[in-house]
Amino acid sequence: MLKIEEIREIIALIDQSSINEFTYETEGTSVSLKKSSEPTVAQHEKIIAPIDHTQVATPTVQQPSANGEQTEQPVVESEVAYDYEIVSPMVGTLYAASSPEKDAFVSQGSKVTNDTVVCIVEAMKLFNEIEAEVTGEIVEVLVEDGELVEYGQPLFRVKKN
């Protein structure tokens, strides 16, 4: 029987190769892998992207003024100040707590450190703990418990200390 680390290694090797489909059978156990155009579990690195607010364009909307001329007004977005977004490292189902009876790992206002578990993402029956990897405060929770998440999807916004 293959160990989890061996399966992860096979996934990584296939992901880097030109092979589109792979099947491995041994001692009555079979593992089949097939590439798709969507991001997969093989892309399992944790991603925390710093946000450079100087490069973000402010959206505007055209509004008529009192004299009938069109003026541009900035669109007011969420005023939540944050430095980092913790994003999903894989496609899967997000769980906010370790079990339905327990409280969520974090919520808005929670203080986090580099190794604080913020959620679990389940992919292919594997439960992957997602850590904050930054020290600060959760200022916005962008997903709900049980929600399907995509690779690179923002999960939490953090104001770092």
Residue 157 has pLDDT above 80, yes or no: yes
Confidence grade of residue 21 (pLDDT, cut at 50, 70, 90): confident
Is residue 149 a part of any domain in this protein? yes
Cite the beta strand spans of 14-116 per DSSP E: 21-26, 29-34, 47-50, 60-64, 70-74, 84-87, 92-95, 111-112
Mean pLDDT of 5-23: 78
96 vs 36, residue with greater confidence: 96
Confidence grade of residue 14 (pLDDT, cut at 50, 70, 90): confident
Q: In this structure, are 16 and 91 located in the same domain?
A: no
Domain count across the chain: 2
- Residue 113 is part of a domain; what is its CATH number? 2.40.50.100
Is residue 73 a part of any domain in this protein? no
Is residue 87 a part of any domain in this protein? yes
Is residue 133 a part of any domain in this protein? yes
Residue 150 has pLDDT above 70, yes or no: yes
* Domain span including residue 18: 4-34
Confidence grade of residue 44 (pLDDT, cut at 50, 70, 90): very low
Q: In this structure, are 105 and 30 located in the same domain?
A: no
The C-alpha atoms of residue 124 and residue 93 are separated, in whole angstroms, by 10
Q: What is the value of pTM for the model shown? A: 0.52
Residue 156 has pLDDT above 50, yes or no: yes
What's residue 59's pLDDT?
55
Is residue 75 a part of any domain in this protein? no
Is residue 74 a part of any domain in this protein? no
Is residue 88 a part of any domain in this protein? yes
The DSSP call for residue 91 is S
Is residue 56 a part of any domain in this protein? no
pLDDT digits (tens, 9 = 90+) for 126-144: 999 999 999 999 999 999 9
What are the φ and ψ backbone dihedral angles of 7, each rounded to 5 degrees? -65, -45
Confidence grade of residue 96 (pLDDT, cut at 50, 70, 90): very high
Q: In this structure, are 91 and 160 located in the same domain?
A: yes
CB 41 within 8 Å of CB 33: no
